[in-house]
Amino acid sequence: MALPRLREELDLIPGPSLPDGQPSWTLHDPVRNQFFRIDWPTLHIMQRWSMDDPKQIAADISAKTTLALTADDVLEVVQFLIQHHLVRGSGPDGPRKMAEQLARLQGTPLKWLLHHYLFFRVPLIKPDAWLSRWLPLARWFGSSGFAWLTALAMLAGFTQVLRRWDVFTASLVDTFNLEGLMAYGVALFCVKLLHELGHAFTAKHYGCRVPAMGVAFLVMWPVAYTDTNETWRLTNRFDRLRVASAGIATELVVAVWATLAWALLPEGGLKSAAFVLSTTSWVATLAINASPFMRFDGYFILMDALDMPNLHGRSFALARWKLREWLFGLGDAPPEHFGPSAARALIAFACATWLYRLVLFLGIAVLVYVFFFKVLGLLLFAVEIAWFILWPIRSELRVWQQLWPRIRMQRRTIHSVLILLLLILLLALPWPGRITASAVLRPVDAWPIHAPVGARVEALHWAHGALAPAGSPLVTLQVPDLVGRENVLSVRLDQQRQQAAIAGFDEEMRKRLRVAEQTLATTQAEWKGTQAERSQFQPRAPYAGHFFMSDPDLAAGQWVSKKEQLGVLVKQGTTWRVETWLEEDDAGRVQVGQRASFWVDSATGKMLQLKVAAIDQDAARTLPRRELASVLGGHVITREKNGVLMPERAVYRVTLELQNMPEDMQDLSWRGNLMIHADLASPIARYLRQIMVVLVRETGF
């Protein structure tokens, strides 16, 4: 068969040695500015391309070199060159075939639009000449002297931040406003510009041409980019590694000097700008650029450090091969041969990348839906899910379809199908439901005791858990101001009584008798008021019950604050009940009369057997039992507003009655764990129902 003609403008550049020691070469396509690494056998095949016969080429290589090739090896190279458009169209139908290849590459107009909505580049400048002029100055920033200065600046800056950590964190909180967000946007733009200049100057330092710099839009989000593809001309992988890491290094240098500037500058606009610049650089570098799971700097750094071009594609291919072997046991050779540890690492990296991208793309889809009006938001959400998640799955399923004649003949396929059916069955079948939640055990008849104002405990009349008779005092509080006012009124009352008693013996005093009697009556009323007020500081039991102190360590002589709960009087013989608040899905699985168990947080004491007594039909607007909030160790997610805890999701109160009342109530904790034996439920039904609820709510059907 006649071989297609190679394109004349292709360049062949010496490349680095491969991990197995053989030399490599880099094939450069100057039209698209793309680079392809080829190995030693491929080079010999391309050197004999003019022979125009795969068998003759393979025979000549086998005879004149230590390689043993066949015609199939030559045809694989031919397929590679055709696939990557490195050959010319030949014959009368050559232009037509090239046009068909271009059409397949571009796809339909809809596919072109979707691809350019998801990602497209806008080159803005051709910086190569400008970079050449400023390269001597940029080299100084890459010198060892500047590196030592930066290290000293980092040490000084971090020392100041640690010493003034409270000021630093307070500054971070103060910037969370509209003006602060605008400042962060400007700082992010400046940092990213310096980031790209770091890549460009480093590439220029190693003799590479930088043809373009501009802005790339990833799902309409602008990201600066620099075309450094010519770094593939570099034969030393450590030089490529320096170019790839130059952007992150530049941002870290900016962060170090900005941190030092924040520590040294006086209060004002420059100090605020340094703070914004430093925090933006640290966060943007560590959270975004250092990730190897997307095609950001971290990926290229890892790729050059391992000297493994196209790391994502190669690890994905290996992971897909391993998945087919796990599922079907086809016995195919792997796409590449690696050592056992390297193969496991690449497969783990591919799985981690898939999981990371799944979470990331789902988040992007939700953001796209939120930031556009509903109809367009739903459309773009569907595009994100289809393009980033469903399309790769579809591609793998098409491979399975092509391999189906072999797959269906494998014994492991039957095992995989049976395991899949078993998992589906386990997820679909209803299982006995057990709902666990935090709950509160409390008596039905209980009288809380609070301090009306800040006061001192004068006496505690009953021990914790003791039975107090009806009418007996429980606690005696003393308020010095009230005692002083009562003493003053007592002295004044005695004086006024004496004056009223001797009024009949003096003519002048008889004239003022009426006024003295009125004054005496007023003083008596005030004194009685203080007596009534004082009775509030000696609460008495309205009924016989057990007295439980809120703080068992409370003792006479201690001070308590206003409205502080001192204890609870539980009526003797009262019934006890358990209360909890469940989310809508869980509450829907609970029925009145179902059994439940309750045990205290400390896991001590007897497990109580309960029965569901009531389920509220309306969702609770607030959470009256603060101890059930997640911030205090409970299970209900809440937010606090004006001192009131409000559930983040709809929750319903469930009340349960005790079936076995313990004799000794003193050892019971008020908060514990509850387990309700609920209705049978399918594990997957809850999620399907939630998806349908969201779809119905968002579409308005």
3-state secondary structure 149-208: HHHHHHHHHHHHHHHCHHHHHHHHHHCCCHHHHHHHHHHHHHHHHHHHHHHHHHHHHCCC
| Coil vs helix vs strand at 404 | helix
The HSE-up count of residue 385 (CA atoms within 13 Å, CB side) is 10
The pLDDT of residue 376 is: 64
Q: Which of 578, 595, 583, 577 is nearest to 652 (CA)?
A: 583
Secondary structure letter of residue 332 according to DSSP: P
Dist CA 374 CA 150 (whole Å)? 50
DSSP letters along 597-634, please? EEEETT--SPPEEEEEEEE-SS--SS-S-GGGBGGGTS
Dihedral in degrees, nearest 10, Cα atoms 489, 492, 498, 503 = -120
Residue 551 one-letter amino acid? D
What residues contact residue 116 under an 8 Å CB cut-off, 6+ apart?
none
- The pLDDT value recorded for residue 131 is 92
The pLDDT value recorded for residue 487 is 62
Q: Going by C-beta distance under 8 Å and a sequence separation of 6 or more, which residues neighbour residue 7? A: 29, 86, 87, 88
* pLDDT tens-digit series, residues 358-378: 887 777 777 767 766 666 666
pTM: 0.63
251: enclosing H helix or E strand: helix 237-264
Query: CB within 8 A of 660, min separation 6: which ones?
Result: 606, 608, 609
Q: What is the DSSP letter of 19?
A: T
Query: Which phi and psi (to 5°) does residue 583 adopt?
Result: -70, 165
- C-alpha 622/C-alpha 94 separation (Å) is 75
Show the low-confidence residues of the chain (pLDDT under 50). Answer: 666-667
Residue indicated by tokens 């946007």: 185
Amino acid identity of residue 499, one-letter, is Q
What are phi and psi for residue 549, nearest 5 degrees? -80, 140
Residue 179: per-residue pLDDT: 67
Summarize pLDDT for 317-355 with one digit per residue, the tens. 999 999 999 989 888 888 888 888 999 999 999 999 988
Encode pLDDT of 441-482 as tens digits.
Answer: 888 888 888 887 778 888 888 888 788 898 888 888 877 665
The whole-angstrom separation of Cα 599 and Cα 606 is 7
3-state helix, strand, coil in the chain (%, to 5): 55, 20, 25
Give residue 562's pLDDT.
80
Q: Would you state the structure tokens that stand for residue 518, as one six-digit string?
A: 């009125």
Amino acid 343: pLDDT: 92
Q: Which helix (H) or strand (E) holds 476?
A: strand 475-478
For CA atoms 675, 680, 683, 685, the dihedral sign is negative
In 219-272, DSSP assigns E strands to 221-226
Tokens 């999701």 belong to residue: 649
Q: How many CB atoms lie within 10 A of CB 133?
A: 8
Distance CA 480, CA 487 (A): 11
Q: In degrees, to the nearest 5, what angle opens at C-alpha 245 toward C-alphas 200 and 210?
A: 20
Q: Hey, which residues does 596 pair with through a beta bridge?
A: 610, 676
CB distance 329 to 412 below 8 Å: yes
pLDDT of residue 666: 47
